[in-house]
């Protein structure tokens, strides 16, 4: 393999749907990673999100610490340098991050009922940061739902099969900053993502690497205006391992600061993750039992804590 598949989404909502859906399906069933462009998320919004991200990470440490995940809870807020280790064997990751989830009102029924993974966002003082990040979050939700129509097409399901399972997702928008380093320190250790899919936008500094099924590491260089899309563990489970959740990592060898924005698209908490019938061979049992999406995410979190 020379590189990741590159898929043009022009015409995806029209006459080119079947052809493009087939290209997406091929990528999902092989490497589990692909680029998309002409995806419909405005370039102006993407540029603004990166500008707001850089401004946030340039804030004084005390302002960022006031929004720390340990204070905010619910996997929202700021994660300082060295707080996380995606590959514990390689030590702490050289990155800082800020997480935004589905924006809820204080009187939201799910929040009041204590539904798992429903919590309030925390925000820095700049109101434009909130406006931009919520617009970006909504645009990524729309694009992610559109991509699930392609998955449904490939898997022999009605095109809207996933919609009611993803309309209030446990999604996370994560802005990331990797400091410049003269060494090959791990920015993000080898890992797979936990949800259905991830939409990743990067600046012009490389560093993302993907491990192929043959075990080789290949670079995923920046592509202006594009998203890198990858399949996560939850969708791999839903498809009975037909789709591939592929290990990846970030090593910033550039000597420059690196910024990226990841959108992790997890299902609604109550969505039942169970093997899609077309993904199970006749007479065979599914590889995994049925599980609620919130229980699955909690299981992944507990496993990650045990590993560290």
Domain range summary for the chain, segments of one domain joined by +: 6-307
Asked if residue 276 lies in contact with residue 239, where contact means CB atoms within 8 angstroms, the answer is yes
pLDDT tens per residue, range 112-153: 999 999 999 999 999 999 999 999 999 999 999 999 999 999
3-class DSSP assignment, residue 42: coil
pLDDT tens per residue, range 243-280: 999 998 888 777 788 899 999 999 999 999 999 999 99
Half-sphere exposure of 69 (CA within 13 A, CB side): 16
Rounded CA-CA distance 59/281 in Å is 54
pLDDT tens per residue, range 62-71: 999 999 998 9
How many CB atoms neighbour CB 45 within 10 A?
15
142 CA to centre of own chain = 14
- Dump strand ranges (E) for 179-297: 186-191, 197-202, 208-211, 217-219, 227-231, 248-251, 258-265, 272-273, 291-292
Q: CATH homologous superfamily for 6-307?
A: B-lactam Antibiotic, Isopenicillin N Synthase; Chain (2.60.120.330)
Asked if residue 261 lies in contact with residue 300, where contact means CB atoms within 8 angstroms, the answer is no
């Amino acid at each position: 393999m020379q590189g990741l598949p590159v898929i043009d989404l022009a015409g995806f909502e029209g006459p080119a749907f079947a052809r493009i859906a087939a290209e997406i399906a091929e990528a999902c069933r092989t490497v589990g990673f692909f680029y998309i462009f002409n995806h419909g998320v405005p370039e102006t919004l993407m540029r603004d999100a990166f500008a707001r991200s850089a401004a946030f990470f340039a804030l004084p440490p005390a302002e960022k610490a006031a929004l720390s995940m340990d204070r905010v809870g619910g996997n929202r807020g700021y994660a300082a340098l060295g707080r996380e280790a995606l590959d514990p064997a390689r030590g702490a990751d050289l990155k800082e991050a800020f997480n935004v989830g589905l924006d809820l009102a204080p009187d939201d029924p799910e929040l009041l009922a204590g539904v798992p993974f429903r919590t309030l966002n925390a925000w820095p003082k700049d109101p434009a940061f909130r406006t931009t990040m919520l617009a970006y979050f909504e645009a990524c939700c729309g694009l992610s739902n559109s991509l699930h129509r392609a998955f449904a097409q490939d898997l022999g399901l009605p095109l809207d099969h996933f919609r009611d399972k993803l309309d209030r997702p446990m999604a996370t928008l994560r802005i990331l900053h990797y400091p410049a380093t003269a060494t090959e320190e791990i920015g993000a250790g080898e890992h797979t993502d936990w949800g259905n899919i991830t939409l990743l936008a990067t600046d012009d500094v490389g560093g993302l690497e993907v491990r192929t099924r043959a075990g080789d590491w290949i670079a995923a260089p920046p592509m202006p205006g594009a998203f890198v899309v990858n399949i996560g563990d939850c969708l791999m489970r839903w498809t009975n391992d037909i789709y591939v959740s592929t290990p990846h990592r970030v090593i910033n060898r550039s000597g420059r600061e690196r910024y990226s924005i990841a959108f992790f698209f997890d299902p609604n908490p109550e969505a039942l993750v169970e093997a899609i019938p077309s993904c199970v061979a006749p007479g065979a049992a599914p590889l995994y039992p049925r599980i609620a999406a919130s229980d699955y995410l909690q299981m992944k979190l507990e496993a990650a804590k045990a590993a560290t």
